[in-house]
Structure 1
Amino acid sequence: MTVFIAGASGATGKLLVDQLLSMGHQVRALVRETATLPDSWETNPQLTLIHGSISEMSPQVLAPYLQGCQGIASCLGHNLTLKGVYGKPRKLVTEALRSLCAAVRILPPEHPMRFVLMNTAGSRNANLRESLSAGEKLLIGLIRHLLPPHTDNEQAAEYLRAEIGAGDPQIEWVVVRPDSLVDHSEVTAYQAFPSPTRSALFNPGKTSRINVGNFMARLLVENELWEQWKGQMPVLYNQS
């Protein structure tokens, strides 16, 4: 399988690349010009590095990179700096998602393209009417006002849920919602649930980045797992 990864030079994106390579798949990795990359990537014949910024790439530019791919993954996120949080592009994830989906339409693929979006347990799946307490609603409202990246994540997930939707002939999708991210060196036991089993604000769980990378890779390449979760927004937790 050949997979295109946006945000491949990020903390989770690198782990997703490594997971797919270790499974024997081909990867086309979009990385920042200034990114520090593992030495092994430069000589790996399974890996094609694409240097650039997705916010500066039109669907017409992206489409050739997607030609021959069966899957797309986005691990894009905002840098946790003043410029990254409050600077442009304020809708980095949503705009990149729109561009990638438009690029898929340009191809178009012979079979539906699998699209996996890394998001956050703080986003809600409106299809399941996931409820919030009064305190959570108040705090989420403040977060939306004060932290634009959270709104970007919500809008990106909503774009796939509401605008691409179910039954699209060219794009199938899964939104992966990890809780508080932590760093582990190896894949450990984890569980995926249709909805949060705890409050992401007041009682968050932990999800290691490498487990996120493993789950996203497996979604892309394992047909049974894909059929289980396509069109859904699984919440991922490390297993206690």
Structure 2
Amino acid sequence: MSILVVGASGATGKLLVEKLLSDGHQLKIVVRTAEKLPDSWKSNAQLTIITASLLDLNNREMVALTANCYAVASCLGHNMSIHGIYGQPRKLVTEATKRLCAAIKVNKPEEPIKFVLMNTTGNRNRDLDEPISFAQKCIVGLIRFLVPPHADNESAAEYLRTVIDQNSRFVEWAVVRPDSLIDNSEVSPYEVHPSPTRSAIFDAGKTSRINVGHFMASLITDNALWNQWKGQMPVIYNKES
């Protein structure tokens, strides 16, 4: 059994893969090209590299991709370029989430598959009372209209929250919401909350990508932590000194 990571070549996805490999797990990853991957990955017997555009896989290939996996982690995101923000596919994260979950259902695993989705603290968990100011609502609404990747992140999380819901026989999920992402070379103390403790617009915190990767890996591999956060949208911040 292995863990499937999509978006593995991204800034956070790479750190998640490195953590899981260092802990001795078997992985499958899907990347458009393997050229920029570390040489250590290409020769690692723990890692199966599938070179493809995820949404170009047909349904049969998607079912095969998710077979024999006990967890799926999505670090998919849009490149911060004009084409990445406004080009196709505008619903990359949402469509990938839907198709991966559909493939898991076809496989009918004996135990539910863990699905961990990287998202953003700018997206509210509508299962909870997460009040935000009128000004923040206006700005988020503008971002939703002008920046398609934000709407995509919202839609992907809503699919898990409302369609997969809490009662799926085959998929359990958690949506990880970091705040403003920064680069650190080492894991540092971090804190996790059910909801934001500060404004994502007017008082944003910082979350290092390596901490996000560490937390996502821990959700997958630590059943007690998973049982604490499954079906929720935990927010992760670097702990302030």
TM-score tier (shorter): over 0.9
User: What is aligned with 1:187?
Assistant: 187
Output the CA distance in 1 between the equivalents of 2:57 and 2:98: 11
CA drift of 1:34 comes to: 6.1
Identity %: 57
The DSSP-based 3-state class of the residue aligned with 2:90 is: coil
1:219 maps to 219
Match of 1:82 in 2: 82
Partner of 2:59: 59
CA contact (8 A) 1:182 1:208 kept: yes
Three-state SS of the structure 1 residue aligned to 2:69 is coil
Alpha carbons 1:27, 1:47 under 8 Å: kept: yes
Is 1:234 the counterpart of 2:217? The answer is no
CA offset digits 1:16-35 (Å, max 9, x no partner): 00010111111101112265
The DSSP-based 3-state class of the residue aligned with 2:155 is helix
Q: Structure 2 CA distance, aligned partners of 1:35 and 1:214? A: 25
Residue pairs, 1:1-240, within 5 angstroms = 2-33=2-33, 36-240=36-240
**Offset from partner CA, 1:147-179 (integer Å, 9 cap, x none):** 000000000001000110002110000000000
**Distance in structure 1 (CA, Å) of the matches to 2:59 and 2:11:** 25
In structure 2, C-alpha distance between the alignment counterparts of 1:108 and 1:91, rounded to whole Å: 26
- Give unmatched runs, 5+ long, in structure 1: none
Separation of aligned partners in 1, 2:103 and 2:183: 33
In angstroms, what is the RMSD of aligned CA positions?
Answer: 0.9
Q: Gapped runs of 5+ residues in structure 2?
A: none
Structure 1 distance, partners of 2:137, 2:18, is: 38
Question: Quick check: 1:3–1:27 contact (8 Å CA) kept in 2?
Answer: yes
TM-score between the two structures when normalised by the length of structure 2: 0.98
CA distance in 2: counterparts of 1:29 and 1:165, whole angstroms = 26
Distance 2:58 2:6 in 1: 14
Q: Following the alignment from structure 1 to structure 2, what is the Cα–Cα distance between the partners of residues 176 and 199? A: 17
Cα distance between partner residues in 2 of 1:66 and 1:25: 16
SS of equivalent residue, structure 1 residue 160: helix
Distance 2:170 2:221 in 1: 17
Equivalent AA in structure 2 for residue 118 of structure 1: M
Cα–Cα, structure 1 residues 99 and 35, in superposed 2: closer, same or farther, change >3 Å?
A: farther
CA shift, 1:110, in A, is: 1.4
Measure the CA separation in 2 of the matches of 1:68 and 1:54: 18
Query: 1:60, 1:106 within 8 Å by CA — same for their partners in 2?
Result: no
SS for the counterpart of 2:29 is strand
Structure 1-normalised TM-score? 0.98
1:59: how far off? 3.0
